[in-house]
Amino acid sequence: MSFLLIKNVDKSYEKGKPVLKDFSLELTKGKITSLIGESGSGKSTLLRIIAGTENKDSGVVSLAGENILGPKEKLVPGYDEIQLVYQDYKLFPNSTVSENIQRPLLQYDKEYRFQRLESILTLLGLQPFRDKLPKELSGGQQQKVAIGRALSLEPSLILLDEPFSSLDTIQRRELIYELKTMFQKLNITVLFVTHDLDDALQMSDSLIIIRKGKIVQSGDVESIFLKPKNLYSAKLFSHLNAIPETKNSYIRPSDVSLYKSSGLKTKVVDKQYLIHYNQLTVELANGHLWQIEDKKRFFEVGDQVFLKWEKGNEISF
């Protein structure tokens, strides 16, 4: 039985343009899943519908067999067992870390509030910052406080809406690893929404690709990478080079080998130094441009370079 079930959900706004179209999704309990798509693809709208803070036009959303109702159907929108964490944190600026985390627990017993607070502060490594205001914290620490506040109600489902978009690379990498480990330890179901593939790959092994309100592919990361169903899914992972004299057949830069005298003849027209290789832009005889990876950093702008790849590595649609 699915833990989170979304079936045939439709959503349009005032102008009638569909945001979600016949959208269906199932998540199992305790699994971390990344939902990736371009801006405007319906990701954030979907999270609000799941959380019960946005109305859907049709369809069903249920958690552990209980239907999730929208604001038009429920007097007080939202559910304690489903917590949505936003990219802009939404912390109370004049409240301390402890006060922000405890805020959802104001109606609970004082002893329980204290125990829950101490547990979360320890879990997230926020003990040294318990009396600080949000403005005194780094972006990563503020995001931890926002997640700590969400965890205070002991939810069974956490929804993360672009939570790392305002963090620098180092903060983001460290926080993703820490949170992934924590969520797995707590056995919490997580749906992580992002437009950044690197973040998605670091957070989970299960990927859902959404475009224009529809799922275009889902599954484990390796399967999607090796057998993308469409050009959009393939391009999420890397640039694609169109193979001459073929129809809709491509090769990834990482699958191309470079030689001095044998293969597809090209000329280097641009070179960019990247961490693990030089990215070369080469011009083919037909005038088309390819991107390739010079891992030995051998070739320079103006050089001739010959290209080969193993049969079977092509991507075709």
Confidence band, pLDDT 50/70/90 cuts, at residue 15: confident
Regarding whether 260 and 156 lie in a shared domain, the answer is: no
Residue 97 and residue 131 in contact, taking contact as beta carbons nearer than 8 Å: yes
Regarding whether 255 and 107 lie in a shared domain, the answer is: no
Regarding whether 181 and 122 lie in a shared domain, the answer is: yes
Give the distance, in angstroms, between the CA of residue 1 and the centroid of all CA atoms in the same chain.
25
The number of domains in the chain is 2
Confidence band, pLDDT 50/70/90 cuts, at residue 1: low
Predicted confidence (pLDDT) per residue in 182-194, tens digit: 999 999 999 999 9
Predicted confidence (pLDDT) per residue in 232-244, tens digit: 999 999 999 999 9
Domain boundary among 231, 251, 285: 231
| pLDDT at residue 46 in the model | 96
Confidence band, pLDDT 50/70/90 cuts, at residue 205: confident
Confidence band, pLDDT 50/70/90 cuts, at residue 171: confident
Range of the domain at 253: 238-316
Regarding whether 121 and 71 lie in a shared domain, the answer is: yes
Predicted confidence (pLDDT) per residue in 299-308, tens digit: 999 999 999 9
Regarding whether 214 and 261 lie in a shared domain, the answer is: no
Domain boundary among 205, 231, 257: 231
Kindly report the average pLDDT of the chain as a whole number.
Answer: 94
Regarding whether 163 and 72 lie in a shared domain, the answer is: yes
- The whole-model pTM stands at 0.90
CA end-to-end distance (rounded Å), the chain = 34
Q: What tokens were used for 29?
A: 């309990």
| pLDDT at residue 87 in the model | 84
Q: How many CA atoms lie within 13 A of 5 on its CB side?
A: 12
CATH number assigned to the domain comprising residue 290: 2.40.50.140
Regarding whether 224 and 110 lie in a shared domain, the answer is: yes
Regarding whether 227 and 205 lie in a shared domain, the answer is: yes
| pLDDT at residue 63 in the model | 97
Regarding whether 140 and 267 lie in a shared domain, the answer is: no
Predicted confidence (pLDDT) per residue in 17-66, tens digit: 899 999 999 999 999 999 999 888 999 999 999 999 999 999 999 999 99
Segment 90-107 mean pLDDT = 95
Regarding whether 105 and 213 lie in a shared domain, the answer is: yes
Regarding whether 217 and 81 lie in a shared domain, the answer is: yes
Residue 300 and residue 288 in contact, taking contact as beta carbons nearer than 8 Å: no
Regarding whether 246 and 151 lie in a shared domain, the answer is: no
Question: What values do phi and psi take at 271, rounded to 5?
Answer: -135, 135
DSSP the chain: --SEEEEEEEEE-TT--EEEEEEEEEE-TT-EEEEE--TTSSHHHHHHHHHTSS--SEEEEEETTEEPP-TTT-SS--BTTEEEE-TT----TTS-HHHHHHGGGTTS-HHHHHHHHHHHHHHTT-GGGTT--GGGS-HHHHHHHHHHHHHTT--SEEEEESTTTTS-HHHHHHHHHHHHHHHHHHT-EEEEEES-HHHHHHH-SEEEEEETTEEEEEEEHHHHHHS-SSHHHHHHHS--EEPTTSSSEEE-GGG-EEESSSSEEEEEEEEEE-SSSEEEEEEETTS-EEEEEETT----TT-EEEEE--TT--EE-
| pLDDT at residue 19 in the model | 94
Domain boundary among 181, 204, 231: 231
Q: Is the pLDDT of residue 314 over 70?
A: yes
CATH number assigned to the domain comprising residue 43: 3.40.50.300
